[in-house]
Structure 1
């Protein structure tokens, strides 16, 4: 699990704010939040427009995307730092231009699939999502100011949350867009309500992530009393109703899943959708 380091800049941003209140998450029409991890990549290749469209069709509340920067400063979505695993090419994204990346074909796990998939740009994703779905932005390697300018260009300021991977990102987003909701993973060392309170107060977290197994009902209840939603990861190869039952029993109000369509169906059957 990722956690922040207290740097002088982070301390400066967090200090002198006794009246701190968390930034609210984007509004959703559903009480229980479903975030589609890398889109609906059970059906289509991860982090492609097709996977994102499928998540929209299946009524997810968020698509989770991974933002990276090309050699020529363009923003694209891919989980890995290299194209080796997911495409027919080789190399690091930071060493390849957008034009070079757009020539690559994204691989499908279905060997009979003849459709051609491409690496999407952030602009294409924002265009697709506008007025349809919120964005869970896993901020892998990009400039907050550049990303936020693009978010504003498409009128999506109220429809994005940012998952933070480093203290530098945290500071960059707090300076660039102070009202942007930032999500942090709960450190493995936080196992009680008391240690959770210390963590929330120390980092001024807006939304909590981590593994759903890290939380118990008292921790979830406390976080939400502080108006900090807990939307952890539940994705796994065997993810299914038994896991979702455990998550509901803890009082969780959202999950990031590899099976958004199945989870939405399950929630509807439970009367939670």
Structure 2
């Protein structure tokens, strides 16, 4: 029975969220993921990245939250990659286990076998207590299986927390996910990744416009992850003139309908959010300008 519930949980959660219709929803059609996605593509042409998965509904950076994000048909799922003591690649944001698991101490001092004994659902509903820290292989297999069955593909947004480029490239290549993934990290890590995979889609951070020229010359980025407070319509235009895409995190206090509309006005290519369904519902209506 527990196994059945575990398989059904992402669908049940998604059904609950989709079934919740806010007062400003205008029609039953606005509670359909295909409706949202079609409307977003038709009216705005902006992609959505699920930050650490669908983390408000399921534990961040777990297979449960990634399954839910896939059902939301997001363009990207953001993952944080770290390396264990025995050289295995795992998905965890923090450098320590304390916040999101029932373990303690640095991830880098634990073997994969040690990590697999832990629950990755610290602070979440007991229904998720069996969720473990996933390996990069497990996440890639999940996405590869999904993409094989669906015409609209979901890609990886890889935050290179603590990982050497060669094993990272090897795993993504094995599952056919390297080409369309985007890679975020320090300029030094991205340069090392570029040497290992010259065609990898690099996405350095950008906090000021005067940093742009040097980063373009060194990294030849596919996109910039532009700090939201620093982004403007003019800066987005300058980046696009260089044939580079604009990604930006709309998280915490910026994860609001007002900011989503502003991102559309700026011409942002992909926004990252913790509130995927709120983004969909906000942008489902036809633009008024």
TM-score tier (shorter): 0.7 to 0.9
Residue 112 (structure 2) pairs with residue 92 (structure 1): no
Aligned equivalent of 2:164 = 143
Give the root-mean-square deviation of aligned CA atoms: 2.0
Q: Are the structure 2 counterparts of residues 114 and 179 from structure 1 closer, same or farther at C-alpha, using a change threshold of 3 Å?
A: closer
Aligned equivalent of 2:135 = 121
Higher mean C-alpha deviation, range 148-157 or range 103-112: 103-112
Superposed, which structure 2 residues align to 1:1-273 within 5 Å?
30=41, 31-111=45-125, 113=127, 115-130=129-144, 131=147, 132-167=153-188, 169-187=189-207, 190-191=208-209, 196-197=212-213, 199-237=215-253, 239-270=255-286
Aligned equivalent of 2:5 = none
User: What is the TM-score of this pair, normalised by structure 2?
Assistant: 0.77
Q: String of CA shifts for 1:136-161, please: whole Å, max 9, x gaps.
A: 00000111111111111111122311
User: Counting helix residues as a fraction of each chain, which structure ranks higher?
Assistant: 2
3-state SS, counterpart of residue 269 of structure 1: coil
Q: CA deviation at 1:221?
A: 1.1
**CA–CA distance in 2 between the matches of 1:74 and 1:120?**
11
Q: String of CA shifts for 1:19-45, please: whole Å, max 9, x gaps.
A: xxxxxxxxxx95311011100101001
3-state SS, counterpart of residue 231 of structure 1: strand
- The number of residue pairs the alignment matches comes to 238
> Quick check: 1:55–1:261 contact (8 Å CA) kept in 2?
no
Q: Are the structure 2 counterparts of residues 202 and 70 from structure 1 closer, same or farther at C-alpha, using a change threshold of 3 Å?
A: closer
**CA–CA distance in 2 between the matches of 1:214 and 1:116?**
40
Q: CA deviation at 1:116?
A: 1.9
> Quick check: 1:33–1:231 contact (8 Å CA) kept in 2?
no
3-state SS, counterpart of residue 252 of structure 2: coil
**CA–CA distance in 1 between the matches of 2:231 and 2:191?**
27
Unmatched tracts of structure 1, length 5 or more: 1-28
Q: Are the structure 2 counterparts of residues 212 and 149 from structure 1 closer, same or farther at C-alpha, using a change threshold of 3 Å?
A: same
